[in-house]
Structure 1
Amino acid sequence: MPKQKQLSSLYCNFLSILTHFAIVFSKSTIEPCSNSDSCNAMVGYTLYTDLKVSEVATLFQVDPIALLTANAIDISYPDVENHILPSHLFLKIPITCSCVDGISKSVATRYKTRPSDTLAMIADSVYSGLVSADQIRDANSISDPSVLDVGQTLVVPLPCTCFNGTDNSLPAIYLSYVVRPVDTLTGIAARYATTITDLMNVNAMGSPSIKAGDILSVPLPACASNFPRYSSDFGLIVPNGSYAITASHCVQCSCGPGNLNLYCTPASLAVSCSSMQCRNSNIMLGNVTMQPSNAGCNVTSCTYGGFSNGTILTTLSISLQPRCPGEHQFPPLVAPPSSPIRDALFAPSPSPSQSGGVGPKTPKSSVIPSTGSLSGLPPANGPSGSTSSAPPLVNPLSSFPSAMILCLFIKFVMSLAL
């Protein structure tokens, strides 16, 4: 065999190996980490069938209230945890991203198998493509994936990234997003208030081309807390346009739309809670008083400082500002949805502008428009449940088309030389 043809064949064999690697590990967002690294993260999930709020929460072992507030869904509705969410609804699911074997992933999710289950169905349907059948098989050391015991509890490793909770040095929380057939990188960037350049940098993409089934890490602008390390909610970060419940359901913190400053008030579900009044004052958590003067505006506020040993920590702040701030604006709440809607309604709010705030002003719910329901598979019956410094994650599929084209080109050139 001529030397040129040998080189051509070796190169193309090498590309075939890379291609195989890309196909096997396509459903992953990869961020190297150390064992002490963890963060709050999110996954984008599309319901495969009608499910109660509590059933979706069970699938991911998350707090149902945390699930609702992450999507700015009003939790004051009666019996909201039993509200039926429609098939094909898109939700952002809050998860904890840990470091497992040097890679960022979430391994807190458990699934109990049913008689008709296969690994492929669990991966592609129940968990909407967030994980592959091979990844479930490897995480559970399953030797024969064709044989699953009914009632077997499986670990479902979910993709996640931390990147120090920042994006371009600004607070951010990362959403693992499964690309749909209709998606473009431009559309995803617009939906989540980011740029194509940023998405390509975060995902180490060589080109803006994406395919259905790819998983992208999408940075969401967020409000970061500065609670002390001994606080149980240390490191709390809330994506722009949403809420978070903390302090044993006693405190509700929101982010935006006016700015990226975390704003916390007593939660609507608060029942048995420690004092939320700032010491040496009659001001309650989240309240602001203003007194205009010739020098400006004297502003006194009571802010949340974390939750420790069953105690809600508060801080009394007094400042002189050039002018009195306006009324605080909360992210708009939506009613618990009863029909599928575009996920744009659950995307982060537009980029914040500078504005002051006082409050609290009770957020009002808006009714979601109906678009008709869709049928799906029967609900899953899962069990009841609950910052790294790293280079950009790798998207192995991004180089696949160009590699094959280059291989064919080399073969063509070598054939002309022979």
Structure 2
Amino acid sequence: MRTQAPISAGMFHLLVIGTAVLFAGIPLGVSKSTIEPCSSADPCSALVGYTLYTDLKVSEVAALFNADPIALLLTNAIDISPQGVENLILPKDAFLKVPVTCSCIDGIFKSGSVKYTSRLSDTPDYIAATVYSGLVSGDQIKEGNPRAIGSDPSTLGVGTELWIPLPCTCFNGTDNNIPAIFMSYVVQETDSLPTIAGNYSTTVNDLTTYNNLGTNETEAGDVIAIPLPACPSNFPRYASDFALSVPSGSYSITAGRCVQCSCGPDSRNLRCMPASMEVSCTSMQCRNSNLMLGNVTAQQTPGGCNVTSCSYGGYVNNTIVTVYLLILLQIILITAASVPRDTTAPPSPPTPIGSSKVIHFSFACPSSGWWCSGSRHNTILPNSFIYLGDSISTHSK
């Protein structure tokens, strides 16, 4: 068994969380989990990597993590259009990324809303190792539920509600100053840091840094934090979906299942539009305009284009907040083959929620290149989900 890293305030580390199994007084395995200390921090969006211990319906998996079944499917880019998709049976050993809210509890980031109701023959160790696939330890469940479990875990009654303190991490929602969401992942027998890094588009250096590891210093059963590229939101603190973050290449549902947000594989801007769910929703029309949420229009002018958009600003008091944006594009024609970008200019301030804003934006393009529509460039207009070069006639994204 390797030596535990020293614990210090403000540092993240790999923590021994107790023996997973005891037989004849001999510890057969010790699991470790990366934890992130905190103090009065805001909650963040996080993921846990879950392997099904048996065949389960989508709704049953969601119930284990207090998650929306549709959000669970969208996070894993699974089609939600079939009727009764929540009753879809997922096979044993299927791997899912499960969205959770990561909160600061007792000085450590944990999932605070995951509850489990005990069944016949359940024990804390069985619940931890089997039902939750090793994401948490039996000792952590005991420590989080002293009154419910008591001194003898073997007498856990049927129907006892338990809090499952799943470890999770936030790390300020960035990975090397790039938006990211962190997934708690149980290391498998066949895993190594290079294979994990390759599977999740990160680096061995990042894994060792976030988990305070030496090279390849992982064992099966360890729970580590993996940074995944993501599109963050910029909603106000009083929005119920504050801190929403969507992993690259996936989707999320919010605003009472009325709004669906996506994160493209090569984008860091959150794109939101009306969801196709059969639910009652508040108005999604932008104030002082005819645009609906997700609409973008463009009008060519002698000097460039006027672009207007209606974007999502959060879910406040059961109301969908929309943001109307008018962007004035001034095009400077040049003959060079490339499109220069000013990377030194400070970012534009956030758009006030529920208000309108006019942005004057100048850029250069080849005389034979982009006008109000054309080829895509890797430049995003400030405070919007529009790329320079997107086709932006009136439509819903």
| Contact 2:17–2:139 (8 Å) recurs in 1 | no
Q: How has the CA–CA distance of structure 1 residues 229 and 326 changed in structure 2, closer, same or farther, with 3 Å as cutoff? A: farther
- The equivalent of 1:127 in structure 2 is 132
Q: Distance in 1 between matches of 2:395 and 2:64?
A: 34
Q: Structure 2 residue aligned with 1:56, among 52, 61, 69?
A: 61
Q: Distance in 2 between matches of 1:283 and 1:237?
A: 25
Distance apart, 1:218 and its partner CA: 0.6
- The equivalent of 2:208 in structure 1 is 200
Q: How has the CA–CA distance of structure 1 residues 90 and 356 changed in structure 2, closer, same or farther, with 3 Å as cutoff? A: farther
Q: Distance in 2 between matches of 1:326 and 1:234?
A: 35
Asked if 1:98 is matched to 2:103, the reply is: yes
Distance apart, 1:254 and its partner CA: 0.6
| Contact 2:32–2:221 (8 Å) recurs in 1 | yes
Q: Structure 1 residue aligned with 2:325, among 307, 310, 317?
A: 317
Q: Structure 2 residue aligned with 1:72, among 72, 77, 85?
A: 77
Asked if 1:156 is matched to 2:164, the reply is: yes
| Contact 2:17–2:137 (8 Å) recurs in 1 | no
Q: How has the CA–CA distance of structure 1 residues 298 and 241 changed in structure 2, closer, same or farther, with 3 Å as cutoff? A: same
Asked if 1:189 is matched to 2:197, the reply is: yes
- The equivalent of 1:116 in structure 2 is 121
| Contact 2:262–2:272 (8 Å) recurs in 1 | yes
Letter of the aligned partner of 2:66 in structure 1?
A: Q
| Contact 1:160–1:176 (8 Å) recurs in 2 | yes
Q: How has the CA–CA distance of structure 1 residues 187 and 150 changed in structure 2, closer, same or farther, with 3 Å as cutoff? A: same
Letter of the aligned partner of 2:291 in structure 1?
A: I
Q: Which moved more, 1:180-189 or 1:295-304?
A: 295-304
- The equivalent of 1:400 in structure 2 is none
Identify which of structures 1 and 2 has the higher relative contact order when contacts are C-alpha pairs closer than 8 Å and 6+ apart. Answer: 1
| Contact 1:287–1:358 (8 Å) recurs in 2 | no
Instruction: List structure 1 runs of 4+ shifted beyond 6 angstroms.
Output: 14-18, 359-363
Q: Distance in 2 between matches of 1:111 and 1:228?
A: 31
Secondary structure in 2 aligned to 1:27?
strand
The TM-score with structure 1 as length reference comes to 0.71
Secondary structure in 2 aligned to 1:74?
coil
- Give the aligned CA root-mean-square deviation in angstroms: 2.7
1:212-361 alignment runs, 5 A limit: 212-269=220-277, 271-321=279-329, 322=331, 323=370, 324=372, 357=390
Distance apart, 1:309 and its partner CA: 2.2
1:328-407 alignment runs, 5 A limit: 357=390
| Contact 2:16–2:32 (8 Å) recurs in 1 | no
Q: Distance in 2 between matches of 1:189 and 1:16?
A: 23
Q: Distance in 1 between matches of 2:129 and 2:67?
A: 20
Q: Which moved more, 1:307-316 or 1:159-168?
A: 307-316
Q: How has the CA–CA distance of structure 1 residues 361 and 301 changed in structure 2, closer, same or farther, with 3 Å as cutoff? A: closer
Letter of the aligned partner of 2:117 in structure 1?
A: K
Q: Distance in 2 between matches of 1:133 and 1:185?
A: 26
Secondary structure in 2 aligned to 1:159?
coil
Distance apart, 1:180 and its partner CA: 0.7
Tell me the matched-pair count: 323
- The equivalent of 2:48 in structure 1 is 43
Q: How has the CA–CA distance of structure 1 residues 235 and 272 changed in structure 2, closer, same or farther, with 3 Å as cutoff? A: same
Q: Distance in 2 between matches of 1:79 and 1:16?
A: 47
Distance apart, 1:145 and its partner CA: 2.3
| Contact 2:211–2:224 (8 Å) recurs in 1 | yes
Secondary structure in 1 aligned to 2:33?
coil
- The equivalent of 1:415 in structure 2 is none
Q: Distance in 2 between matches of 1:16 and 1:313?
A: 48
Q: How has the CA–CA distance of structure 1 residues 297 and 51 changed in structure 2, closer, same or farther, with 3 Å as cutoff? A: same
| Contact 2:374–2:389 (8 Å) recurs in 1 | yes
| Contact 2:295–2:395 (8 Å) recurs in 1 | no
| Contact 2:296–2:395 (8 Å) recurs in 1 | no
Q: Where do 5+ consecutive residues of structure 1 fail to align?
A: 1-13, 329-353, 364-418
Secondary structure in 1 aligned to 2:153?
coil
Letter of the aligned partner of 2:59 in structure 1?
A: S
- The equivalent of 2:21 in structure 1 is none
Q: How has the CA–CA distance of structure 1 residues 128 and 361 changed in structure 2, closer, same or farther, with 3 Å as cutoff? A: farther
Distance apart, 1:230 and its partner CA: 2.8
Secondary structure in 1 aligned to 2:154?
coil
The TM-score with structure 2 as length reference comes to 0.75
- The equivalent of 1:399 in structure 2 is none
| Contact 1:259–1:355 (8 Å) recurs in 2 | no
Q: Distance in 2 between matches of 1:120 and 1:326?
A: 58
Q: How has the CA–CA distance of structure 1 residues 200 and 87 changed in structure 2, closer, same or farther, with 3 Å as cutoff? A: same
Q: How has the CA–CA distance of structure 1 residues 310 and 256 changed in structure 2, closer, same or farther, with 3 Å as cutoff? A: same
Q: Where do 5+ consecutive residues of structure 2 fail to align?
A: 7-14, 19-29, 332-369, 377-386
Q: How has the CA–CA distance of structure 1 residues 310 and 90 changed in structure 2, closer, same or farther, with 3 Å as cutoff? A: same
**Identity value in percent:** 60
Q: Which moved more, 1:157-166 or 1:107-116?
A: 107-116
Q: Distance in 2 between matches of 1:327 and 1:261?
A: 19
Q: Distance in 1 between matches of 2:244 and 2:218?
A: 32
